[in-house]
A and B are shown apart, each in its own frame.
Chain A
């Protein structure tokens, strides 16, 4: 395999993996901060238990996000050195700001929060979890502004002398609507991901009639936040789509398998393409709908893939400017279907909480909602990144020209296999711990941290759950 393909696979795998953990960190942090605040205000022991319980799951998840995040920052230089040279003047700034403004904040105060209870003033301890939540969400803002710039470059000029793009307007970069739309969409997806985890875990315990008061509280809170955030996801996604229609028409058309320019445009409900993913074989379409999605108007013109390909070939030179449509088309439909389904189920959950619901038969199925946001999040990012192909920076630099020229396929195979093995083991350890603590319930988490000595040295003999 050639270095470009290997580097792309590596970036794709490490990034998708990293982003499996990020949304939960973003969303659950706010929940834990809220719960601890409620405890601080009411002195109700239940809130303390909830803080501890969800806080433990938050920490197990957070750890993987942190360690895989370092890879993200390093691999621009490691695998995409020509990209780094070309856009470093612009792209490096939000990354450095992210580290300075957000990483220090979340990392320092996470340490304070974990170890600080009982050792530092309670107010400072409470403030530290809020700072962790703010820090992680701020880091999302800066990395999304960086990514937004790759999708919709602003505030730059290409310097003919140095042969690279240079920043001329930092405020344009910081106010890039693309980045802010991403941020808005990502933040609410964090809330939704956390809500669905809380719903699933709470239902597990409610079915077993354990800690009923605690998990009813969690369930109700998560049903409400889940409904609000899923609904906002729909609207922010819609706005994202419309901005994409204006700024990245090719991606928009590729997502919709919209081949020919038309006015009004039909929305594809199901399209089957050929094996290259670039030709249509058969489809069912809904009239007018695509025009509406593109510009809130049932009669606007939506340009097709072929048209834009011709335009790009004329503007940027001969080449294939069509993304891999089978991927963009299906990831979008996975994301949207799941998103709509999430609105529906969280609405039903919220409705159910108005009456007696914890004994309902359907409750035992609720844990299966946990994976939904994960699939939608992954689908969303795959379509965002693969829909930009062949560009790494839209209209400026192609992925092919961005890769590090000195890397051999062997280098890349070693790192690709290495990351896969290590990330795979991390995932299994993480999944094991999440499951264990989620099932063990709040009493176990209250006591877990005290190391109990066994007769023969390292480790403690007491199983989780038997410690209270």
Chain B
């Protein structure tokens, strides 16, 4: 393969990893944020956690792999973004740590205070992670100050501009909806009814915030004038998918509602990566300082080696992760005898 097509291939692969991460971990984050509000009794909270219990850790590896792939394929992207978004990523890591440890530790002690604390850590960690990722990605679309040496020259507050904040809020509400739809699909009995009530309220918030983000995107970014690849109807399809979710929620068709939020998340991310291509990070200092797949990539040799590795292992990973979802496909009820974990 030519150098350019390898660089393009790796752009696509990393996009796929991020998209897979947002689609999968999106509902994990949503479930996590809903946990203390939705679960009134301990057994209900256990049931809610068990909907994602077997899979959340594997889902999180999509993020780790995305980071590793950025490092291997586009070291400058990895270096500039990770050092530039330093404090935001630090808080993201704290959020992921609090959440991850809580899934494992919350049931290992019987004191109510212990469990309360870890349940809230799951919620706060999931919220932090969703918000910061939303803020980070909207800032990538908007452009951030990067100098001629590919070094980020802003700070944390550069990212906390109105557009970034709207992006963070959007990701939070969309993940909440995605999580609620997933719970509707996985839970049974009274909890399932309760989830539906929540879904309706969350839907309204998600639809409003997403609409604001859409408008803000035209105001704050150059994507209307400077298309990477013309995304065509993709953003429209994404928006429609979000809007029609309510029809399925009202009809108690949680499966379809979940498919719609999944489509929304995937198509939004697809739009994002199409608009960015071939740019990886837009410099707001000067367009010439932007990182692209051409000036930020590894050598042709490394990209070739990594392509072979990916060709072998990606299908294997997809196969066994798919298998694990298939194995745990049953609905979960909040009854003690069914919750042996």
Contact = CB atoms under 8 A, between A and B. Distances in A.
22 contacts: A74-B89, A77-B67, A77-B71, A84-B82, A87-B75, A90-B302, A93-B302, A97-B309, A99-B64, A99-B68, A103-B64, A104-B320, A115-B341, A116-B54, A116-B328, A167-B305, A411-B86, A436-B109, A451-B43, A453-B43, A454-B112, A458-B41
Contacts of A63: 100-101, 103-105
B324 A453 contact: no
Interface string B157-188: 00000000000000000000000000000000
A429 B101 contact: yes
Contacts of B73: 92, 96
A433 B305 contact: no
Which secondary structure characterizes the binding site on chain A? helix
B93 A71 contact: yes
Contact of A450 (B310, B330, B340): B340
Interface of B: 40-43, 45-46, 50, 53-58, 60-61, 63-65, 67-73, 75-76, 78-84, 86-87, 89-90, 93-94, 96-98, 100-101, 103-105, 107-116, 119, 150-153, 155, 298-299, 301-302, 305-306, 309-310, 313-314, 317, 320-321, 324, 327-328, 330, 336, 339-341
Pairs A-B, 10 closest by C-beta atoms: A88-B75, A77-B82, A459-B112, A92-B72, A92-B71, A81-B83, A96-B68, A63-B104, A404-B83, A81-B79
Interface in A97-143: 97-101, 103-105, 107-112, 114-116, 118-120, 124
Interface of A: 59-60, 62-64, 66-68, 70-71, 73-74, 76-79, 81-82, 84-85, 87-93, 95-101, 103-105, 107-112, 114-116, 118-120, 124, 159, 166-168, 170, 404-407, 411, 414-415, 418, 422, 426, 429-430, 433, 436-437, 448-454, 456-464
Given A78-B83, A159-B299, 18 more contacts: A63-B104, A73-B64, A77-B71, A77-B78, A81-B80, A92-B302, A96-B68, A108-B321, A112-B327, A170-B301, A170-B305, A415-B86, A436-B109, A449-B340, A453-B41, A453-B42, A458-B115, A459-B110
A166 B300 CA distance: 10
A210 B37 CA distance: 43
A411 B317 contact: no
Contacts of A68: 97
A407 B101 contact: no
Contacts of B61: 99, 103-104, 107-108
A460 B54 contact: no
Contacts of B68: 73, 92, 95-100
A129 B77 CA distance: 36
Contacts of B98: 422
A463 B327 contact: no
Contact of A458 (B57, B75, B94, B112): B112
* Max chain B Cβ within 10 angstroms of own Cβ: one of A81, A101, A110: A81
A24 B48 CA distance: 30
A67 B97 CA distance: 5
B327 A116 contact: yes
Given A90-B302, A111-B58, A458 B45 contact: yes
A124 B73 CA distance: 35
B301 A166 contact: yes
Given A73-B67, A96-B71, A459-B112, A60 B320 contact: no
B87 to A, nearest CB: 6
A79 to B, nearest CB: 7
Contacts of B119: 458
A104 B45 CA distance: 26
A111 B55 contact: yes
B42 A451 contact: yes
Contacts of B83: 77-79, 81, 404, 406-407
A463 B57 CA distance: 29
Given A100-B65, A422-B98, A449-B340, A88 B108 contact: no
A96 B119 CA distance: 32
A85 B79 contact: yes
B3 to A, nearest CB: 13
B321 A407 contact: no
Contacts of B46: 451
A107 B41 contact: no
Contacts of B152: 406
A84 B78 contact: yes
Contacts of B58: 104, 107-108, 111
Contacts of A159: 299
A97 B305 CA distance: 11
Contacts of A170: 301-302, 305
